[in-house]
Amino acid sequence: MFDSHAHLDDGRFDKDRNKVIEAGKTGGLKYILNPGADLSSSVKAVNLAKVHDIVYAAVGVHPHNAKEYDETAREVLKNLAKEEKVRAIGEVGLDFHYNHSSKEAQRKAFKDQILLSKELKLPLIIHDREANQEVFDTLTENDAHEYGCILHCYSGSPEMAKEYVKRGYTISIAGPITFKNAKKPYEVAKAVPLEKLLIETDSPYLAPVPRRGKRNEPLFVRFVAAKVAEAKGISVAEVIEATEKNAKKIFGIK
């Protein structure tokens, strides 16, 4: 299994991080991609990847922290991206729900990190909350899919997902697909071809049923795989095999 998005650097794992990673390995996890949310967490993600064989990193500034993004931050990310196990820029994007950073700051950081990913020839990991159309327009206008682009914890419509796929983007499904009233992600999983899907936990957030309300962990990606399999009418093993293959390809892991 490949958990394509987990924040193992989060403080909620400080007491048992190694145990959680080892539990994942024992349970069948082969790879975990840990994205950064700011400079500090990006550094932590890189360091975790150095210590744990199944962990890989992405570096980036999340829209919540976009107000902190400047030329200095860009250079730090650029240098971090030279590390062997850094495989993407992210997570980056727009979040118009919380607006912890101004929309102007978010847009500026988003667009510049798209350019950075292209400069470094690395895929992008996208955060999009209540900004579906603007994220779509920004990505397509900037040909952000050139080196791979993942819509993390995708929350848009099945119709928009199809438009993304037509343009070469990849859709990642997370824990909400297991929630009782979450019809949209279930329909997205049905609509998107298996070869354009990834699965993730977004740990420690969005724990899937039957762990909803508790701290999420990478191993729980198996519950996401099971629901995707149900939606597509195929076996869980097929989902696990295909999404692992997809993630290894987009992140350049042999």
Tokens found for residue 126 = 């996208």
pLDDT at 175: 98
pLDDT at 86: 98
pLDDT at 4: 98
The CA distance from 249 to 10, in Å, is 26
Distances, alpha carbon 27 to alpha carbons 21, 48, 143, 196, 221, in Å: 10, 20, 38, 25, 11
* List of the chain residues with pLDDT < 70: none
pLDDT at 241: 98
The CA distance from 236 to 230, in Å, is 8
48 CB contacts (<8 Å, ≥6 apart)?
8, 9, 17, 34, 55, 57
The CA distance from 49 to 17, in Å, is 13
Q: Where are the alpha helices (DSSP H) in 158-235?
A: 158-166, 183-191, 221-232
pLDDT at 94: 98
Per DSSP (E only), the strands in the chain are 2-3, 31-35, 55-59, 86-95, 124-129, 149-151, 170-173, 197-199
pLDDT at 113: 98
Residue 151 pairs in a beta bridge with 126, 171
Burial class (CB in 10 A: 0-12, 13-18, 19+), 82: exposed
For the chain, domains (ranges, CATH) are 2-250 (3.20.20.140)
pLDDT at 90: 96
